[in-house]
Chain A
Amino acid sequence: MDFSLTDDRRMVADTLSRFLRDSYGPELRNKIAHDGPGYALEIWAKMAELGIVGALVPEAAGGFGGSGFDIAVVFEELGRALAVEPFLATGVLGARLIATAGGPAELVEAALAGEQQLALAHYEPTSRYDLSHVRTRAVMDGDGWRLDGVKAVVYGGGAAERLVVSARTSGSDDAADGLTLFLVDPEATGVRRRAYPMIDGAAAADIWLDGVVVGPDAVLGTVDDGFALLEETIAAGALALSAEALGAMETAKDMTVAYLRDRKQFGRPIGSFQALQHRAVEMVIEIEQVRSAVIRAASLLDGERTERERAVSAAKSLVGRVGKRVAEECIQLHGGIAMTWEYPLGHYAKRIIMIDHQLGDSDHHLDRFVTLGRAGA
């Protein structure tokens, strides 16, 4: 048993943490987050140069990581600084997926170098968080394929230079079998995008596919057999978001505890009031629990399917439950100041809460945890 990080991972975490501390203050972050495509080119390039995207992709595909702990370490640091750069879209859901599927190496390399933005266009207006609900259809067209459908709230979808699109090649709307993943050029004829900013920063897009024609080489993995890859990728993404939430909660909690020490009312620090002390301690304990759940999910990401999915769902569900509590408590313990745009806490609270709306909320993952447990029992 050993709960320390390997030297390599420690180094990645330290490098990233130092960079974010030196070059990524709250003002710059808010400018990037709420003004433009959701990343600043020079920052993204610098982070890629530091190897942060590479840490999310397995060695065999040109990266130097991609395991559960690699992902968790990077995203916890990103969460601490509330970084909005598209590490999830381009790194985990993009490059890692393409690499795992044995897709075009040059695409992965370009992404690792910070020269290519990617996005996974999977969820649809009616799918909520259901993984297998896909109504977008792909039918054979000569030796290629023709895609029709709508994808909703694709994170990074507006800026992406290449999309991974899930489409149904056989079966009913909700079947796990019959899904295929395609690489699609967003500039191709028949693709329409509507990009928009998100309440917690960064951007997403709705994407319409109207008779989009792709060649046979656009298929990632095997036709009709995309679900397993998709599921593992979403699990990696949910782990990443859980770790990001953990980092964001740590910072929000630290800010709150510092404020409790500094802020004076009735002639004394408000942190001297037991009603507030106990709530702060309860937050700390719950955050420790989240850290444990993230560690467990990270350790099982490369494991057997049911164990992996249950551990990730446990983490994401707990993150949703604890995240809501921490975000709300941090605002309440601060009082009015947390309600302002200027004070950074509110932005942390927004991100922590909205993570529950990405890749499955706490109820979705609780249901999944229970259902998979019953099947496995």
Chain B
Amino acid sequence: MDLSYSAEEQAFRAEVRQFLEDSLPPTTSDKVRTGADLSKEEMEEWHALLHARGWLAHTWPEQFGGTDWSPVQRHIFEEECARAHAPRIVPFGLNMLGPVLMKFGTPEQQAHYLPRILDGTDWWCQGYSEPGAGSDLASLQCRAVRDGDHYVVNGQKTWTTLGQYADWIFCLVRTKTDGKPQEGISFLLIDMATPGIEVRPIILLEGTHEVNEVWFDNVRVPAENLVGEENMGWTIAKYLLTHERTNIAGVGASTEALRRLKELAGLMTRGGRPLAEDALFAARMGEVEIDLEAMKITNLRMLAKAQEGGAPGLESSMLKIKGTEIRQALNDLTRRALGPLAAPFPSEDVEGSNLPDFLPDDAGAAAAEYFNYRKLSIFGGSNEIQKNILSKAMLGL
């Protein structure tokens, strides 16, 4: 039993830290730190900087221009990025579609799309959920009907994150209506510039524009844009979901959130004393910190398992549940730590800033972040769906 990082891993951490110090634009890290929205250009700039360093595609093998990092290296990179307030890598092309094309795509598809994901030519978004197909994804209705060498797509996708910036969308579409719902799904790549596509914003409860509806009205898609065989989309979807859950524990981000919470609890007062010394509040913070310390080890144990060649599966479901619970608890406490100062509504639409003057600049978005992060236990397979999976596959119930 040895919980320490190897000399190589420590050297890697130092290298990542140095890179972040040298290369991460301060205006970008400031926005991440204070919870402000990044522009498309800022996200693309960060991708380009990582790509120039050869550090953009963490889950890709070297032959496709990836880093070929071990699970532990990916974890170290995530920790350091969170610590430095680097933006998250936009996952749709890199962590989702990329691995799918490598596994199921034709050589032509790989040669065409993968380099364009790396160099930022194409911004991808994900067309999975529909109004009637959330947790029950297999019930999706968006139709694709073969018409000569095209598919004609009609229907609607929703919760399309950053779809407003996307050049392309990968979609699960229904190509067969009889038989089991899972057996009539196909995986289709669609150019967002095709006539008949409309993107409508969905404004989230805290006021941000992060997700969208995407409508398809007789959208003609070349048949060569099919990935894998017709009606095998469900297999691809499941494969993609296991990759989507990489780094799902969010250990680095939660560590940073705890640091900020403690700092705020040291600044805020109750009864003339720092909130951090208030017995009730300190106990609540202490319990989350104990949970997070344990989850760091849980995460490392599961990384070690993955390192030995195990596929991320049941472990990732466990990490997803516990990781999101911890993160949501931290956001809850951060909001509560601010007391009445948490209530003002920070919005870019309001003239000037309505953030209070009495808080550090990374505290103003605490309430908004709390509301936004309720999504964590809903997306990527809701926590209840994860429990269904674990109950069946791990406990045999």
Contact = CB atoms under 8 A, between A and B. Distances in A.
Interface residues of A, number: 45
A325 to B, nearest CB: 13
Interface residues of B, number: 41
Nearest to A6: B1
A238 to B, nearest CB: 14
Contacts of B318: 284-285, 288
A182 B290 CA distance: 35
Given A2-B2, A289-B294, A374-B277, A281 B72 contact: no
Contact of B397 (A4, A261, A282, A292): A261
Given A3-B304, A6-B1, A277-B397, A289 B298 contact: yes
A110 interface: no
Interface in B371-397: 384, 387-388, 390-391, 394-397
Interface in A279-303: 280-282, 284-285, 288-293, 295-296, 298-299
Interface stretch (B112-120, B279-287, B345-353): B279-287
A71 interface: no
B37 interface: no
A284 B394 contact: yes
A366 B295 CA distance: 17
Contacts of B391: 274, 277-278, 280-281
A277 B387 contact: yes
A126 interface: no
Given A1-B304, A5-B1, A296 B293 contact: yes
B88 interface: no
B12 to A, nearest CB: 13
Interface stretch (A45-53, A127-135, A314-322): A314-322
A370 B283 contact: yes
Interface stretch (B3-11, B98-106, B133-141): B3-11
Contacts of B285: 370
Contacts of B1: 2-6, 69, 295, 298-299
Interface string A242-273: 00000000000000010011000000010110
Nearest to B274: A374
B291 interface: yes
A181 B287 CA distance: 34
B2 A289 contact: no
Nearest to A377: B262
30 contacts: A1-B3, A1-B6, A1-B300, A3-B300, A3-B304, A69-B1, A274-B388, A277-B388, A277-B391, A281-B390, A281-B395, A284-B395, A285-B318, A285-B321, A285-B390, A289-B298, A292-B296, A292-B297, A293-B290, A293-B293, A293-B294, A295-B297, A314-B293, A317-B286, A366-B287, A367-B286, A369-B286, A369-B289, A370-B286, A377-B262
Listed from nearest, the 10 A-B pairs whose CB atoms lie closest are A292-B297, A277-B391, A271-B397, A370-B286, A293-B294, A292-B294, A292-B298, A289-B294, A2-B2, A281-B387
